[in-house]
Amino acid sequence: MKKEHDGLTFQRGDAVAIAAVVTAALVMIALLLIPSGGNGRVIARIYQDGEVIRELRLEENTEITVEGAYRNTISVRDGKIAFTHSDCPGEDCVHSGWISAPGRSAVCLPNRVEIRLEGEADTDDVDAVVQ
């Protein structure tokens, strides 16, 4: 008499497929977690009323004060930048926290101050610049 299985059986090909899916998932996670290429240098441009008033490198720890209708203190520490003090109403800029990635920004609307982070790219890596 031949014995029949009612359930599914695990075969060698199943193990190969599972290993391939797990490997692909680990590679994708690693690619997301590893910093992107480039030289890793980020420039913070400080704007007031739409004009650049200062440029800061995130590699250098520093603190500046921006005067206007209100007073903002902007700090650079450990490759990050933030509004660390402001006497504007609500202090939303201070609560926005630390930023460090190119393309990110922080704004103090009452004082019309913006911090924009831009990656410093090699000219060989740039296809086009849009402003």
Residue 101 lies in a domain: yes
Q: What is the side-by-side order of every strand in the sheet holding 105-108?
A: 51-57, 42-48, 113-119, 105-108
CATH number of the domain within which 110 lies: 2.60.320.10
Q: Per mean pLDDT, which range of 28-32, 34-38, 40-44, 121-125 is the poorest? A: 121-125
Number of domains the chain is built from: 1
CB distance 120 to 39 below 8 Å: yes
- β-strand 80-86 against 71-77: which pairing, if any? antiparallel
Which single residue is written with the structure tokens 């299985």?
5
Alpha helices by DSSP H, the chain: 12-33, 92-95
pLDDT value at residue 7: 67
Arithmetic mean of pLDDT over the chain: 84
102: containing domain: 42-119
Q: What is the pLDDT of residue 128?
A: 58
* Residue 119 CA from chain centroid, whole number: 10
In a domain, 34, yes or no: no
Percent of the chain with pLDDT over 90: 53
Residue 7 forms part of a structural domain: no
DSSP for 51-86, please give it: EEEEEEETTS-EEEEEESSSEEEEEEETTEEEEEEE
74-117 confidence digits (pLDDT tens): 999 999 999 999 999 999 999 999 999 999 999 999 999 999 99
- pLDDT score of 16: 85
